[in-house]
A and B are shown apart, each in its own frame.
Chain A
Amino acid sequence: MYVTEIFINGLIQGSLYALIAIGFTMIYGILRLINFAHGDVIMIGAFINIGLLKMSVPWPIAIACVLVLGAFIGFVIDKVAFYPMRDAPQVTGFIASLALSLLIQNLGILLFTAQPKNFSLPDFFRENIIVGGVKVTFLSIIIIFSSIILLALLLLFVHKTKMGVAMRATAENMRVARLMGIKVNTVIMVAFMIGSALAAYAGMLWGGRYGQVDPLMGFLPGLKAFVAAVIGGVGSIAGAAIGGYLLGFSEILFVGLLPGRMSGYRDAFVFGLLILILLFMPNGILGKSEEQRA
């Protein structure tokens, strides 16, 4: 029973990381940009959902709205910050994304204050279902299955549609893709939109799972999702999903199996893992070796 519980918790945590890691990996695959502001889209998604539920929008429509508004935020982020510096060196984009991240966080503080806010989903999300002798909330089931569905849809999109093929071509070689008539900027915009929509959705689930949201909530999960993307191999979408689940499981196992006084070191474990993976397995599980990271 304890094992089932750990398994389900790992699956939930992993789903959330996987959803967020997708955005990192898509943008990195195309632009070689580590987009720190991605984590803060999680926060925006959660706050949008609070607003929608306050206006008593029915929850299926609220979910759709979160996805659409998340995509819109991705569009804005791309146009405002990253479009003007497409040709700048890597590190410039990285600093810009940090600036954007702090900008979004502080706009959040300005608008909603730094106090954590309660995040309550409609009641039936919290009803319990017995799975394998363990009580599981309906929300957990939704997190697990909707993530799998979204990831499958994304893989279908990337492999079967024209836009998906264009996206992979751009990630492979941007200059050649442009020569072949692909509108690279549109592709990048779509990547930002998809990544942000998924992150905003993850933010809504994150808020539902932990019951509290605040303007700074997105940074750490975003950073950890980046670790997940690195584990899976930055640039590979399937890799990001796998990395997300692996990180989720190992985090839950770390807390579940080691003695209680070690559980405070959970974050240290994740970032220690990051450094080790960058050093010894810089291409992650599914990434291609093409550039120097270390």
Chain B
Amino acid sequence: MRIRVGTRKVPIPPLFILGVIGLIAVAIADTLLNPYIVSVISFIFLYMMLAVSLNITNGFTGLFSLGHPAFMGIGGYTAALLVFPAARKIHLLPNLPQWLSVQQWPFFPAILIGGLFAALVAFIIGYPVLRLKGHYLGVATIGTIFIMRVVFRNAEQFTRGSLGLNGIPFKSSIWWIYLFLVITVYVAWKIKFSSFGRALFAMRENEMAASSLGINVTSMKMIAFVVGAFFAGISGGLWAHLTTVITPDSFSVGLAFNIVVMVVIGGSGSITGSLVAAGGISLLIEYLRPLEEMLGLYGLGQIIISIALLLVLIFRVRGLFGTSEPKLLRNNSQRDIS
């Protein structure tokens, strides 16, 4: 398919077509399906967003970070504190500083501020932590999750401690979540097929070689980490306004694990892979949950996911798509990385 731009005819980007198809699907889902199924789809979109954004850090750059839930938590609490109606904030959080308790922001800017704040924290944490390599970075970022959880538990003035914030207004309609998913995929895609993305992939393959070719390894790592954290913060805000309850335990190592599973099974570095794996796995999680409750077999879903990951690691380490995107979705100018 081609469209006319000025005097030339250019092909419509396949991703754009996919996005429009998604939009139509969302419209159909929102009008025809019952609210429960719509919320399940919203969660699936959120997981897709999380997986794609973690892929920027873990897949493209090879920084094995597990810190996503920590940044989600920051974004979630920030956005929730800004959106909460001022009248109710006084009762729920009486010790909140004056300047914060009078705020009552619209949804969109609050979510953005949540993402930016998460990015800022990632910048501060990344400064020491990104010096670590390989699995040591993984351990340090798990440590970050625990540190953030302790902070959320103890900063009762802002977070009500382990009680968490409840009654957060429901604002994350499927439309908002889809919008942010599209933005995330678009940004990840643009990064992947840019010179910046090439630099990230080069660093992943061989850091020393990349650095001797003039790539500023330290700042590239930092940018990849901060961009990942920004989208994690955004999805944290969306998460808070979808579930309407957040506690310090909402953002756990288990969640980090599930996102990593999506990236690894989809193929580290493949956006399509992340989308497909996130869709499949979160569908599995959502549909096994009622089954678990019915049969009393709690933990079954997680067991299946863990075994699936072990099998993928043993028999097909590259995951479903490796690092590549299917040819169908690429422009001719977007050469694949393999």
Q: Which residues of A pack against B, CB within 8 Å?
A: 34, 81, 84-85, 88, 90-96, 98-100, 102-103, 105-110, 113-114, 219-220, 223, 226, 261, 264-268, 271-272, 274-275, 278-279, 292-294
Contact = CB atoms under 8 A, between A and B. Distances in A.
A90 B140 contact: no
Interface of B: 64, 128-129, 131-136, 138-140, 142-144, 146-147, 149-151, 153-154, 253-254, 257, 260-261, 264, 297-300, 302-303, 305-307, 309-310, 313-314, 317
Contacts of B149: 267
Of A88, A223, A278, most B-chain CB atoms within 10 Å: A278
Given A34-B139, A90-B135, A96-B310, 18 more contacts: A92-B317, A98-B260, A99-B306, A102-B254, A102-B305, A102-B306, A103-B307, A110-B297, A110-B298, A223-B139, A223-B146, A271-B146, A275-B143, A278-B132, A292-B133, A293-B136, A294-B131, A294-B133
Nearest to A94: B135
A198 to B, nearest CB: 21
Nearest to A280: B128
B152 to A, nearest CB: 11
A190 B143 CA distance: 30
A29 B292 CA distance: 40
B143 A274 contact: yes
Question: B-side binding surface: helix, strand, loop or mixed?
Answer: helix
B300 A271 contact: no
| Consensus secondary structure, chain A interface | helix
A110 B264 CA distance: 25
Q: Which 4 pairs across A and B sit closest by C-beta, in order of nearness?
A: A271-B143, A106-B299, A109-B299, A103-B306
B326 to A, nearest CB: 25
B147 A271 contact: yes
B91 to A, nearest CB: 24
Given A85-B313, A91-B138, A96-B310, A102 B147 contact: no
A274 B299 contact: no
A81 B146 contact: no
